[in-house]
Amino acid sequence: MIIVLAPGQGSQTPGFLEPWLDVDGVREHLGALSDASGIDLVTHGTVSDADTIRNTEIAQPLIVAASIVTGALLVSGRRDSVGAVAGHSVGEFAAAYLAGVLSDVDAIRLVGVRGRAMALEASKVATGMSAVLGGEPDVVQARLSELGLTAANMNGGGQVVVAGELGALVALAADPAEGTRVIPLPVAGAFHTAFMAGAVDTLRDAASTVTPSDPTLSIYTNRDGSRVSSGTTYLDFLIGQVSNPVRWDLCMDAFAKDGVTGIIELAPAGALVGLAKRGLKGIPSVAVKSPEDLVAAVDLLEAS
């Protein structure tokens, strides 16, 4: 079973969309998604600098649009070869599109709302996120509790992303839990924590105008790593996800249990394939960073 993955915030880099604009239909697709999201995706994906695309209200639509566009190219005429889809954090909106739960326009419109709402909440208190690599889980959790930090993304493969006030994150980096390494992440808020509660209400209001469909491809949820068969339930999980932890570790456990034989990560790719190489060793994977990588991804999909 080949699973197609969509990455979350922090995977963007300046200019990463540039090579895709020469692919037939991509510029036009991005234009339609720009109109729906309220973000000039072509400009931000080609010429905007790292600080600009770090802004939550820009980063989230930019990342999801890239996954939607490259996912559409990948599955066109090959949908029957896709065993399942999943997204990490905001990438779940791209997964919802690929699975047929949401249209591309509805998905990116809701992501635009989500990004703006989360940016507003992040502006109220100086917060952020850091990756914690290694260490014993109990030891890590004890240190987080001391500092008032939350395990926001449990990513598996020996990585936990923690979130909270910036002062506490600085203290963690200066005095980490034994056996760990702390890496600050290029995100501007304590996402997937109680700091984002206000954004949940805003997103729920926006989602009330959308009628989701039941998935036509198997889709996993970050809530607990399970597969979801109801579009309404999946959309509800997407809303609640904003202020709840991402359980990517449970998703990877489910991938292994369900017999995943290959992994394709859509643009802007790299992070999820990296986690899979540590947590799902030996499974072939392709990170779709460029049109050339898309060729390799098609080969993997068609060989399944």
Number of H-type helices and E-type strands within the chain = 13, 8
Joined tokens for residue 96? 């919802």
Backbone angles phi, psi at 152, to 5 degrees: -90, -35
Backbone angles phi, psi at 143, to 5 degrees: -65, -40
Catalytic residue ranges: 89, 192
On the 0-12 / 13-18 / 19+ scale of CB atoms within 10 A, 258 is middle
| Residues in CB range of 227: below 8 A, 6 or more apart | 84, 218, 219, 220, 221, 254
d(CA 199, CA 201): 5
Joined tokens for residue 103? 């249209």
Our CA dihedral for 225, 153, 125, 123, rounded to 10 degrees, sits at -70
| Residues in CB range of 24: below 8 A, 6 or more apart | none
At 288, is the secondary structure helix, strand, or coil?
coil
